[in-house]
Amino acid sequence: MLKQKINKRQPNLIRLAFFFFFLLFLFSSPVLADKVVVETQNGYGILTPKQETIQEGKNYTMHIDVYDLSDGTYVSNESATCYLNLFNGDGTSFFLSEFEYSGNLTTELAGQWYVEIPGDTFEEIGTYTYFVECDENAGNLGGSRSEALEVTPTGKKDYYIVNMIIFSLAALLIVGGIIKSDPSITAFGNLGLYYIGIFIIQYGIAGQKNWMINALSAIILALAFYITYRVFEGYWPDNY
């Protein structure tokens, strides 16, 4: 009798495990894209900061270096003017500012340009694009560079890895609760699904939010509600 019960569960457990792996794949896919950097091959070269993630609501100072591609010498505000243009997720420009210059050609700060970005500039968490353009004041030289800038709750890319661990543990607990016919284990693991679903609605995945990510959060929450219903109605895992 016990053997028949286990055999009956195996196809359902396989389908459930496959479904969790499918969600795990969707969970990880939005961060596979590489950063795109565009830089001119003549005129001015522009070096942007390595920092690609900033904290929500916190003032941020962007620093860049500008140099002449022909001879590698730094460019100051005496010969050029530089601008910063920020774009949101749908490509709309919402912040335009001129860089200030803080260095001189005889110090280690040579070529140091900066611009202050107020903390309330970014209305929501997500991935933005910034465009830096520098033009020669009296001539035809110039240069440009475009990169992505991610805004997160902490200014770090640590939530993605943590949430992947939570999701994996939740899946193991849910499947383990079903195998052991222990509703408490299943319910405990289900709390992880609620957390992940709500977190994705608020913050997206790795700072990205789109219709596919919203659909993924809806699927995860729907699964969490379904598991809660089955556990508290007494159908699952005892009668799974």
Write the DSSP assignment of 123-137 as a string of letters. Answer: -SSEEEEEEEEEEET
86 touches 94 (CB < 8 A): yes
pLDDT at position 15 is 58
Provide φ and ψ at 199, rounded to 5°: -60, -45
Mean pLDDT of 92-110: 74
Predicted TM-score (pTM) of the model is 0.56
pLDDT at position 36 is 45
24 — pLDDT class (breaks 50, 70, 90) = low
Q: Where does 38-152 sit in CATH, by number?
A: 2.60.40.10
CA–CA distance, 84 with 92 (Å, rounded to integer): 14
- What b/e sequence results for 105-115 when a residue is b if at least 16 CB atoms lie within 10 Å of its CB, and e otherwise? eeeeeebbbeb
pLDDT at position 187 is 86
The domain spans of the chain are 2-32+158-232, 38-152
Closest C-alpha to 127, from 149, 160, 94, 155: 149
CA–CA distance, 58 with 56 (Å, rounded to integer): 6
What value, to the nearest 5°, has the Cα angle with vertex 30 and ends 29 and 32?
Answer: 70
pLDDT at position 138 is 83
104 — pLDDT class (breaks 50, 70, 90) = low
- Higher pLDDT residue, 130 or 91? 130
pLDDT at position 85 is 95
Please report which helix (H) or strand (E) contains residue 68, including its range.
Answer: strand 60-68
Provide φ and ψ at 35, rounded to 5°: -70, 140
* Terminal Cα distance for the chain, rounded: 15
